[in-house]
Each structure stands twice: as C-alpha cells, then as structure tokens.
Amino acid sequence: MRDNNLKYVSAVFFVKNIEVSRQFYANTLGQEITANFGRNVVFQGGLSIWEEKYALSTIYSLSKANIKVGRNNSEIYFETRDIERAYKKFKKDGIEIIHEIMEHPWGQKGFRLFDPDKHVIEISEPMDEVVLRYHNIGYDMKEISEKTMMPINMVKKIIETLK
C-alpha cells in the first residue's frame, strides 16, 4: 500500500568541512541558503549538507557499525541556459572538472565537476533548450521525440511555447 502522506523534502550530502562546502554551494554554485544550523545547511530547492562526523554520530548513535561515507556514487544536478559561460567560470575558478561540455546521446549538453568532497555535480542545459535547438534546425516533432527520448506530447508543448 502506498502512503500518500509522504512528501519528498530534501537530499542530504555529508561533507568533511561544513564551512568549505557551504562556501562552495553558496558562492561558487550560487545556491541560496535558507537555514544555517552550523553543522548542517539547507539550500533553497531541497539540497542540504551535513558535517560528516555530526551526521554519522546522529544517525548511527545506537549502532557500533563502522560506517564509511561514499563518494562518486551520486550526482547533484543543476541546469543553466548558458552552459558555455558556466563551464568557463568553473574552469577559471580552478574547480576540478570531470569532463568538458559534451552532448549526451539524447541531445542535452552538459559537463560534470566535483565539489570539495568529490560529490559529482552535473551542470546541463534544460531539455526545453534541446527541443528548441532541434526544432530550429528542422527536426519534426517525431524526430525530436525519438532523439530526446521525451514523449511527443511534451515536445509539442515546448514547441507551442514558441508561438
């Protein structure tokens, strides 16, 4: 049975140095802080960071398990309409880039970088940009749907916003 009272609120990433990570997300990625509790910080949109030692001692306070916090096993996803500018800014700022801007098989352009704790951050263009790019070079709705793997009714809705 599905519990309809459950509501997704936030994803939490454990970080070694809360201040370094707070500055990275707030200053480098431009995320607005909605609450700063010292050992954990909440950003607008649902991302939170917790100081790793505090998080583990809170979550596993009744357990004697030896917990190792993973890295490179999740991704935080952001979008921008100016992918080239974003890429150049992060590169200039010396942020560790995983890969340059690439076009994925579904047509979306994006790149990935690491945060200070080696969490993977993807920065890509919104899919409506992809649909509009293919529309502007002459693809019909069916071709765009096949390329982007988006349902044709979504493609049609995006194209209709142009009119």
What pLDDT is attached to residue 7?
A: 77
pTM of the model: 0.85
Per-residue pLDDT of the chain (163 residues; tens, 9 = 90+): 566 677 788 899 999 999 999 999 999 999 999 999 999 999 999 999 999 989 888 888 766 667 677 777 788 999 999 999 999 999 999 999 999 999 999 999 999 999 999 999 999 999 999 999 999 999 999 999 999 999 999 999 999 987 6
Tokens of 34: 């909605």
Instruction: Say which residue the tokens 């950003």 belong to.
Output: 43
H or E element in which residue 88 lies: helix 83-92
DSSP state of 47: E
Distance of CA 19 to the CA centre of its chain: 20
Instruction: Say which residue the tokens 């693809």 belong to.
Output: 139
H or E element in which residue 110 lies: strand 109-114
What pLDDT is attached to residue 71?
A: 73
* Domains observed in the chain: 8-62 (3.10.180.10)
Q: Which of 74, 123, 130, 136 shows the shortest CA–CA distance to 107? A: 130
